[in-house]
């Protein structure tokens, strides 16, 4: 299955889920020190390998990190060719002062936000997926 491409359908179907725990981004020169099952995400950069791990796993391995995040999964199956989804949710989060780091998987988009912004980010994403509720609750002039 290729996933949904229609932005309106994607936004209505976001269904964000806050995964339990705290997550961190670390860099390692190779994968010898990190068990594959502990890796949430891996990206190869010329400077080294970026791994996203549960904070407790990084602590146990003594890996340094600076950003402690919450992990939100958008459960809609979005196509990797969908246009505008990342822009829509990142703009909504930015308008609320929330930084986001996005990882696109084959089935879902995953958003990492600062741990202290998790609750607010969930509210913003839920509102984004319910535009009719936004307009009906907006103040009338």
For the domain 7-132, what is the CATH code?
A: 3.30.2130.10
**What are the residue boundaries of the structural domains of the chain, listed by start?**
7-132
CA–CA separation, 30 vs 130, rounded Å?
43
pLDDT in tens, the chain (141 residues): 678 888 888 888 899 999 999 999 999 988 898 999 999 999 999 998 999 999 999 999 999 999 999 999 999 999 888 898 999 999 999 999 999 999 999 999 999 999 999 999 999 999 998 865 444 444 433
Produce one character per residue of 85-108: b if its CB has 16 or more CB atoms within 10 Å, e if not: beeebbebbeeeebebbebeeeeb
């Amino acid at each position: 299955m290729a996933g949904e491409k229609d932005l309106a359908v994607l936004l209505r179907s976001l269904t964000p889920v806050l995964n339990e725990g705290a997550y961190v981004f670390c860099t390692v020169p190779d994968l010898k020190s990190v068990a594959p099952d502990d890796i949430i995400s891996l990206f190869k950069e010329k400077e080294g390998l970026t791994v996203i791990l549960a904070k407790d796993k990084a602590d146990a391995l003594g890996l340094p990190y600076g950003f402690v995040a919450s992990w939100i999964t958008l459960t809609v199956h979005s196509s990797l060719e969908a246009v505008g989804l990342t822009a829509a949710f990142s703009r909504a989060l930015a308008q609320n002062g929330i930084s986001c780091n996005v990882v696109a998987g084959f089935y879902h988009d995953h958003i990492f936000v600062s741990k202290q912004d998790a609750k607010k980010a969930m509210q913003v994403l839920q509102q984004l997926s319910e535009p009719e509720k936004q307009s009906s609750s907006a103040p009338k002039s």
